Amino acid sequence: MAIFTYALDAAMPNVCLSGVLTIGNFDGVHLGHQALLDEAAGQARAAACPSIAVTFEPHPSQLLRSERAGPFLSSVQDRIALLQQHVTHVLILRTSPALLALEAREFFEQIIVKELQAKALVEGFNLGFGKGRQGTTEVLREFCAAQNVHFTLVPPREVLGQPVSSSRVRAELLAGNVDIVALLLGRPYRTTGVVGIGQKRGATLGFPTANLHDIVTLLPGDGVYAARAIVNARVWPAAVNVGPNPTFGENARKVEAHLIGFAEQLYEQSLSIDFIKKIRATKPFASVQELIAQINADIENVKKIV
């Protein structure tokens, strides 16, 4: 498996030619995306050719609607790693004004047919490509038929009676429903950051916390979560608070993780959090003693869940 980056003025890697393609932003690489990837991989194996996930970096919205873009469900590195689990190659189209200016037909003829020489395309129900997302699945089906490119439309993957989509994942995540998000992704939702120096208040209370900084992905809604913390390839149960600390009058939104049973130094290390279940809302407490009692209860709850 390999990763390639392509710009309009560059040469397409030969190993990406004459394959089965699926094209998209693939933010979060949820079950719907995975269905496309696995269909492309299956067709490619049958045809003895490569399967290729074609994605974009930066995300087109960062150029088109920068004031509303992001944060996203997965970092670039995580998205690529997840895509690689399903297909032969990952091809990153370098997003530029010139690329975004291509009409749907131009994108199809220049990128898919001329540059990639695609044998087949696999896409989903909510496809939009080309300038203004004018290219729909029906438009693409017509283009493929005219160029003798096999086209497969994969029906939406449903979970709990509704189609899986990146927008649905984001909505459930912001609502704190990380257990439902795990169903939509086929895995727990993961956030990664670097451990920085906080107020050290948790340590004085007897519950040292790792304060995560430099997080680039979307955070769950405010609350306390049962989670798994991954550091140096080791996994620890964790109670994680996302949001402010109203008991001490702090309004800044933070991510603080108490790794249960962990007693080592974490400053400046990378730490990942897999969110399992929301256990309660964020709320102020009348006293420090009441807060300590609640944290103890949270930790026992996390132990039962994780």
pLDDT tens for residues 54-72? 999 988 888 887 666 679 9
152 and 193 together in one domain: no
Q: Would 175 be classed as within a structural domain?
A: no
Does 259 lie in the same domain as 136?
no
Length of the chain: 306
**pTM of the prediction?**
0.93
Domain match, 9 and 118 both: yes
More confident residue, 4 or 151: 151
297 pLDDT tier (thresholds 50, 70, 90): very high
Tens of pLDDT, residue by residue over 144-165, are 999 999 999 999 999 999 999 9
239-284 pLDDT, tens digit per residue, is 999 998 876 666 688 999 999 999 888 999 999 999 999 999 998 8
Domain containing 109 equals: 2-156
* CATH code assigned at 94: 3.40.50.620
Of 138, 156, 174, which marks where a domain is finished? 156
- Of the pLDDT bands very low, low, confident and very high (cuts 50, 70, 90), residue 82 is very high
* One domain, residues 152 and 198: no
DSSP-assigned letters across all residues of 51-100: EEEEEEES-THHHHSTTT---BSS-HHHHHHHHHTTSSEEEEEE--HHHH
Is residue 34 located within the same domain as residue 138?
yes
In a domain, 165, yes or no: no
**Residues 194 and 290 occupy one common structural domain:** yes
Output b/e per residue, 163-200; b: 16+ Cβ within 10 A.
ebbbebbbebbeebbbbbbbebbeebbbbbbbbeebee
Between CA 186 and CA 199 the distance in angstroms is 36
In a domain, 170, yes or no: no
- Tell me which amino acid residue 27 is: D
**Catalytic residue, candidates 256, 264, 290, 300:** 256
Q: How far apart are CA 40 and CA 123, in angstroms?
A: 9
Residue 163: strand pairing partners: 158
Domain contains 161: no
Domain shared by 76 and 203, yes or no: no
Q: What pLDDT score does 186 carry?
A: 98
pLDDT at 198 over 70: no
Q: What is the mean pLDDT of the chain?
A: 92
- The yes-or-no answer on residue 142 being catalytic is no
Q: What is the CATH number of the domain that holds 244?
A: 2.40.30.30
Same domain, 76 and 204: no
Would you state the pLDDT for residue 62?
87
**What total number of domains does the chain contain?**
2
- If pLDDT is split at 50, 70 and 90, which confidence band does 22 have? very high
> Is 34 contained in some domain?
yes
pLDDT beyond 90 at 199: no
Same domain, residue pair 45 and 144: yes
Could you tell me if 133 and 15 lie in one domain?
yes
49: its two tokens: 């050719």
